[in-house]
Structures are given as C-alpha cells and as structure tokens.
Amino acid sequence: MRYLIVFAHPEPRSLNAALKDHAVRALIEHGHDVEVSDLYAMGFKAIADADDFPARDAETRLVYHRASGEAYASGVQSPDIAAEQAKLLRADVVVLQFPLWWFSMPAILKGWLDRVFAHGFAIGVPKPGTRQWLRYGEGTLSGRRAMLAVTTGGREAQFSDRGINGTMGDLLFPLNHGVFHYTGMAPLEPFVTFQTVRTTEDEFTAMADRYVARLLAAPSEKPIAYRTENGGDYDAQGVMRDDLLPGQGGIRLHHE
C-alpha cells in the first residue's frame, strides 16, 4: 500500500513528530511505501493568492477558485501545488496529522487544502452525462482511504457528549465529511490522543503502537458511513428528503 502522511507541526522534537516518525518506520518495515509532506519543514506556502498563478493576467480581478481551475486545466499550476496533487493521486491511504489548535488545524495545513484541492481537481468536477457534481461520496480521489491523526492536550472527558468542548466527531466533521467524503475518499474514524503534555515514556510507546495498528488496518477498516449526495437521500438543493428522519437535524443526520 502507498501511504501519504501530510504532517503539520512546527517542532520536529514534539510528541506529534515522534508519532509520525514511529509510524513511518513501522509502515516501511511492514513493506509499505510512505511519502511524507512535512509542511513546516518544506516551508510550504500557506497563503492562497495571486502568486499561485504566474501565467494569469494580473490586470484582471482575482477569483481564486476560477483561477485555480484554469491553471489546473491548462497545466500551469504552481509546481508545489502540482507536486502535492501527484502525491495524493499516488496514495492509497491519506493521513492528515496535526495538533488540535483552536478546535481546528494549524493554518499551514488549511493553506495546503486551500491551494492543493484545486477547482477541477478536487472540487467543481462534473459527473459525466448528468447535471450532477462528483462530490460527497464521488470524486477525483475516490478509492482512497483517509484518516485524521490528531493530538490534543485536553482531557478525553472534555470531548464527550456532555463535555465542554463538544465531541471530537463533531469538531472534526468539517474535515471528515467536508474534505474527505466531499472529494470521494472514504473517511475512517480519527486517531486521537489526549493529554499529550503529560505523556510518560510507557504511555507514548502504547500510543505509538496504537497509531501504527490503526494505520496498518486502514486498508480494510470500515469507513464512516456518510450519505452520498447522488444516492437519492437529498433533493436537487442538497437538502435531505422530508421523509427521512423527519423532525431531526444536525450533523448526525448525514450518517447512514
């Protein structure tokens, strides 16, 4: 199997980085191919702006998604964007690994998504022969498994149904559903570690082994069962049919 780990932590001596290094070694030892995009080490450009399109007429108003689609279609994307897209297309399993900052990802990883998931590549892809779009269960990245690997200093109880932070599933829904599922990848339950600032050596060893076990199981693990957009559960406006779970709403509605 081919794994792509997109890693976003600024400190190479962090627990998060140690988990990544342990995972890479173990995957290679098990005979898998591994690519790592270490965004901070790469100095990856996080800002999506006009500099991404050197061939564009600078006198025209920038509409970023339109410019990204034109660059993708004509093969004149920024080289760093094209390189990351090629990694995605080579991968069987895609992992986004990052610390939870302000209930989300570090800005550099958000910038990676903004720039790499270009119009025509990951979004704005029409379904041939229909008026539908390839998204939410279908897309360019279909056939790949995807998993979030997240570290946080918070206590696990704080991320429970009654916890003050809300559930981790709810917090990560925009990525699992709005990035992975949207682009056709099969999202897996996230790997999450809590109270990382107090981790002992023995606890780290157990944590790292659990991470490796999840990665090794990724090709056969049952994905999160989200409803597909073109499967008949939603109307032409993208709203769930009235006869399905009437009177209910919220994130959980979109799980089968």
pLDDT of residue 56: 86
State pLDDT tens for residues 76-97. 999 999 999 999 999 999 999 9
State pLDDT tens for residues 87-123. 999 999 999 999 999 999 999 999 999 999 999 999 9
Q: Residues 5, 98: contact at Cβ < 8 Å?
A: no
Placement of tokens 């988990």 in the chain: 19
Could you tell me the domains of the chain?
2-224 (3.40.50.360), 225-256 (no CATH)
State pLDDT tens for residues 38-86. 999 999 999 999 999 988 888 899 999 999 999 999 999 999 999 999 9
State pLDDT tens for residues 146-174. 999 999 999 999 999 999 999 999 999 99
pLDDT of residue 67: 94
Q: What is the torsion angle, in degrees rounded to the nearest 10, for the CA atoms of residue 180, residue 185, residue 187 and residue 193?
A: -70
**What single string gives the DSSP state of each residue in 71-95?**
HHHHT---HHHHHHHHHHHH-SEEE
Find how far residue 240's CA is from the centre of its chain: 24
Is the pLDDT at 36 greater than 90? The verdict is yes
Percent of the residues in the chain that have a pLDDT greater than 70, as a whole number: 100
pLDDT of residue 54: 87
Banded model confidence at residue 228, pLDDT cuts 50, 70, 90: very high
**C-alpha to C-alpha distance for 246 and 256, rounded to whole angstroms:** 14
The string over 101-114, giving b where at least 16 C-beta atoms fall within 10 Å of a residue's C-beta and e elsewhere, is eeeebbebbebbbb
Can you give the pTM of this predicted structure?
0.94
> Could you tell me which of 207, 170, 167 has the C-alpha nearest to residue 191?
207
Q: Residues 140, 182: contact at Cβ < 8 Å?
A: no
